[in-house]
A and B are shown apart, each in its own frame.
Chain A
Amino acid sequence: MQELSMHILDIVQNSLAAGATRVEIRIREALAEDLLMIVVKDNGRGISQEVLSRVMDPFFTSRTTREVGLGLSLFKEATERTGGYLEVHSEEGKGAWVIARFRLDHFDRAPLGDMGETLGVLISGNPEVDFFYEHRVDDQIYFLETREMREILGPVGLDDPSVLDFVRQDIQIGLKKIGAATFPKVMEVLR
């Protein structure tokens, strides 16, 4: 996975598979602390303590279609390359949350990638699920909430093709406005 937005899409697929009806994605960039934090929280059925102790193991998976579970281990690897870490917490029956911590300007920090397309695909492919996306850069905030979108759109479903386009553009413009760091600074210089 070359982009953090792909990892986020993958982690949220786990939430959806666990029956989540609400998924929150919060990204925080703290420039002075050189910190990028991604938190994905859901209200799905959660993970048992036994499974929780093995979720980072690439050779463990709860699915039956293949024998490896690469999603979380790849995400963990992406955090550790920058000196960060990944934590997975859960309370059975109440949901799970994943916290990924990166050094924002580390040379090996993967680019954020296309968050617009990730959210667009998630929302339009799962119109019944409530998604909340918040991106902070110090005190600047961008957010998107599907509950509010649903109220405004009325009879027009979130799976309407025009909604994906709206989400993509709104996030792209919103992140630019708050100065979100797509790439680490050192990579911006090299590009």
Chain B
Amino acid sequence: MNVEELKKIREKTQREMDLRNGEKAIKVVVGMGTCGIAAGARPVMAAIKDELARQNAKNVTVIQSGCAGFCEQEPLMDIFRPGEKKVTYGKVSPDKARKIVVEHILGGRVVNEFVFAQEK
């Protein structure tokens, strides 16, 4: 493990942390059951993290869940924005995930063409 590289990350990230509010207001959940993994949830999760880093978005928590029972719709991605209903995207690819990050998670506009279910 490259310890020096980690120390550099700490210095760089800590400087950025000092400049922002540390509250993580938005939550993203990626289905990571066997069905999700087999359908491509791992690169989707990596793409979400990567896009959040590219957009310098720090108020988003990305977590994993097990099988939700809609295996044919995997990879599934739930978005919880404060004060808004849950939106679930289905058959998410890394490219779709990047679009959802930019338009919905950060921009607040639901990407209707990829929506599988929306809380009433």
Residues in A lying within 8 Å of B, measured CB to CB: 1, 6, 9-10, 13, 16-17, 63, 65-66, 69-71, 74, 114, 117-118, 120-121, 124-126, 143-145, 148-149, 152-156, 159-166, 168, 170, 173-174
Q: Which residues of B contact A143 (CB under 8 A)?
A: 1
Tell me whether B50 and A70 are in contact (CB under 8 A).
no
Q: Which residues of A contact B53 (CB under 8 A)?
A: 161-162, 164-165
**Closest approach, in angstroms, between the C-beta of B98 and any C-beta of chain A?**
13
Contact A170 B1, CB 8 Å, known A17-B66, A66-B69: yes
Q: Does chain A have a CB within 8 A of B71?
A: yes
- Bound-state CA distance A128–B33 (Å) is 19
Q: Which residues of A contact B14 (CB under 8 A)?
A: 154-156
Q: Does chain A have a CB within 8 A of B106?
A: no
Q: How many residue pairs, one in A and one in B, have C-beta atoms under 8 Å apart?
A: 111
Tell me whether B52 and A162 are in contact (CB under 8 A).
no
Q: Does chain A have a CB within 8 A of B34?
A: yes
**Closest approach, in angstroms, between the C-beta of B95 and any C-beta of chain A?**
16
**Closest approach, in angstroms, between the C-beta of A55 and any C-beta of chain B?**
13
**Closest approach, in angstroms, between the C-beta of B50 and any C-beta of chain A?**
7
Residue of A whose beta carbon sits closest to that of B45 = A121
Tier of interface size on chain B: 35 or more
Residue of A whose beta carbon sits closest to that of B33 = A13
Contact with A along B1-21 (1 / 0, CB 8 A): 111011101101110010000
Contact A1 B38, CB 8 Å, known A13-B33, A121-B46: yes
Q: Does chain A have a CB within 8 A of B32?
A: yes
